[in-house]
């Protein structure tokens, strides 16, 4: 092979690699709208204060609650494979979502807790050189929302995704933020009623209490459900001293298998005053490279078409690229 031909082949391969990387870094999807008929005549169609129409006596585990998966992963590098939302925390709350899935790690330079999606940091804007999104940035948005809408509550489930620092170090930073704003937090290890939770963040955690603080909120750690081959029962039960929780989080399923798992959870959901049901609609698919938006567009369309029953608790339904109508589809099932 001549040197000229070899050079052209190498250049072609390099250009191909660069194009793939640029697509992975920069390409995002913003059109997540789906044509669906949602009754907007109901007073609780207002997504900012839908909880105001619910009874104080209900336990939050008895509710149908829309949530977002990897809630802070809007502005990230490798957007094609890492981006899970196209709205920020403020807009998610205004759109009716009351469960936030936050993944955190320590910023080596500042020592602050930052938001991440696996090994990728979350940013404050689409500019890849923008500041990192920090935990106190997110909590400030939630505090502001709760100040304006005191009838609402927000469940914040925190998972540590940091292989370089100890859980106890990160716990210390998280606890500092919580103690500094303790009036905004419910961090008991028991499920609150809506009356107890209104105007507050309900803390849930997916990590062990390595620091021995005794403050973990609702402990909700579960085993990775990373199998690609469907199981007969796609959800698993976990029991602690105070409550139970079912989890369906098969994140390596195809769209078809994932939807079957979601529906199985909806039809066999056990959510009551002492039992949560977390039903993840999100998936990365069973291939080598995931594309959250592509899967979410199909799954969210199917969820909007699903015939939910009124006056029924479906637990917490957690989605990628959540919209207002999708949130309404979930929370309309509550007993108003």
CA 178/CA 104 separation, integer angstroms: 15
Among 211, 200, 80, 229, CA closest to 139: 200
Q: Widest CA span of the chain, in angstroms?
A: 80
**pLDDT at 126 (0 to 100):** 96
Give the span between the Cα atoms of 28 and 80, in whole angstroms.
6
Average pLDDT over residues 161-175: 95
- Give residues with Cβ within 8 angstroms of 284, minimum separation 6: 81, 251, 252, 290, 292, 295
pLDDT tens string 15-68: 334 434 444 444 445 555 556 678 999 999 999 999 999 999 999 999 999 999
319 backbone dihedrals φ, ψ, rounded to 5°? -130, 160
Give the tens place of pLDDT for each residue, 120-147. Answer: 999 999 999 999 999 999 999 999 999 9
SS3 state of residue 61: helix
Which candidate, 225, 275, 233, places its Cα nearest to that of 253? 225
pLDDT for 35 equals 60
- Say what percent of the chain tops pLDDT 90: 87
- 141-144, Cβ contacts within 8 angstroms, sequence gap of 24 or more: 141/88, 141/89, 141/90, 141/93, 142/89, 142/93, 142/100, 142/184, 142/201, 143/181, 143/184, 144/90
Angle between helices 292-305 and 255-267 (to 10 degrees): 40
Show the DSSP H helices in 129-249 as ranges. 135-148, 167-180, 194-197
Q: How many CA atoms lie within 13 A of 248 on its CB side?
A: 32
- CA distances 223 to 82, 228, 275, Å, are 21, 15, 18
pLDDT at 188 over 80: yes
Q: Report the DSSP beta bridge partners of residue 205.
A: 158, 219
Give the model confidence (pLDDT) of 221-239 as tens digits: 999 999 999 999 999 999 9
> Are the beta carbons of 282 and 326 closer than 8 angstroms?
no
Q: What are phi and psi of 33, to 5 degrees?
A: -70, 145
Parallel, antiparallel, or unpaired: how do β-strands 244-248 and 120-121 relate?
Answer: unpaired
Count of other CB atoms within 10 angstroms of residue 234: 23
> Residue 116 above 60 pLDDT?
yes
Residue 34 near residue 301 (C-beta atoms within 8 A): yes
Q: How many CB atoms lie within 10 A of CB 31?
A: 9
Q: Which residues contact 120 (CB under 8 A, 6 or more apart)?
A: 73, 76, 77, 78, 82
Compare 11 and 244 and report the one with higher pLDDT: 244
- Characterize 275-303 residue by residue with b for buried, 16 or more Cβ atoms within 10 angstroms of its Cβ, and e for exposed: bbbbbbbbbbbeeeebbbbebbbbbbebb
Q: Which of these ranges, 27-41, 275-289, 295-309, 313-327, has the smallest mean pLDDT?
A: 27-41
Phi, psi (deg, nearest 5) at residue 45? -65, -20
The per-residue pLDDT of the chain, averaged, comes to 92
- Tell me the pLDDT tens digit for each residue of 189-207: 999 999 999 999 999 999 9
User: pLDDT-based confidence at 282, cuts 50/70/90?
Assistant: very high
Whole-number pLDDT of residue 166 = 95
């Amino acid at each position: 092979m001549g040197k000229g031909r070899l050079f052209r082949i190498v250049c072609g391969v390099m250009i191909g690699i660069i194009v793939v990387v640029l697509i992975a870094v920069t390409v995002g999807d913003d059109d997540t709208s789906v044509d669906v008929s949602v009754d907007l005549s109901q007073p609780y169609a207002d997504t900012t204060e839908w909880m105001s129409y619910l009874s104080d006596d209900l336990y939050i585990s008895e509710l149908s609650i829309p949530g977002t998966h990897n809630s802070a992963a809007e502005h990230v590098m490798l957007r094609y494979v890492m981006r899970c939302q196209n709205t920020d925390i403020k807009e998610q709350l205004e759109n009716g979502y009351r469960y936030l899935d936050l993944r955190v790690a320590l910023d080596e330079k500042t020592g602050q807790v930052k938001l991440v999606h696996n090994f990728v940091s979350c940013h404050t804007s689409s500019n890849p050189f923008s500041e990192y999104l920090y935990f106190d940035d997110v909590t400030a948005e939630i505090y502001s929302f709760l100040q304006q809408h005191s009838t609402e509550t927000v469940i914040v489930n925190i998972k540590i995704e940091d292989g370089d620092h100890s859980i106890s170090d990160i716990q210390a930073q998280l606890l500092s933020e919580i103690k500094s704003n303790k009036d905004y937090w419910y961090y008991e290890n028991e499920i609150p009623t809506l009356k107890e939770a209104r105007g507050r963040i309900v803390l849930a955690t997916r990590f062990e209490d390595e620091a021995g603080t005794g403050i973990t909120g609702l402990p909700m750690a579960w085993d990775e459900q990373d199998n690609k081959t469907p199981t007969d029962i796609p959800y698993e039960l976990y029991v602690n001293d105070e409550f139970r929780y079912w989890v369906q989080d098969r994140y390596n399923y195809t769209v078809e298998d994932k939807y079957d798992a979601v529906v199985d959870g909806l039809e066999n959901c056990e959510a009551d005053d002492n039992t949560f049901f977390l039903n993840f609609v999100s998936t990365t698919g069973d291939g080598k490279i995931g594309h959250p938006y592509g899967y979410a567009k199909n799954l969210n369309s199917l969820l909007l078409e699903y015939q939910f029953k009124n006056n029924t608790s479906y637990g917490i339904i957690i989605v990628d690229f959540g919209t207002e109508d999708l949130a309404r589809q979930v929370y309309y099932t509550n007993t108003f």
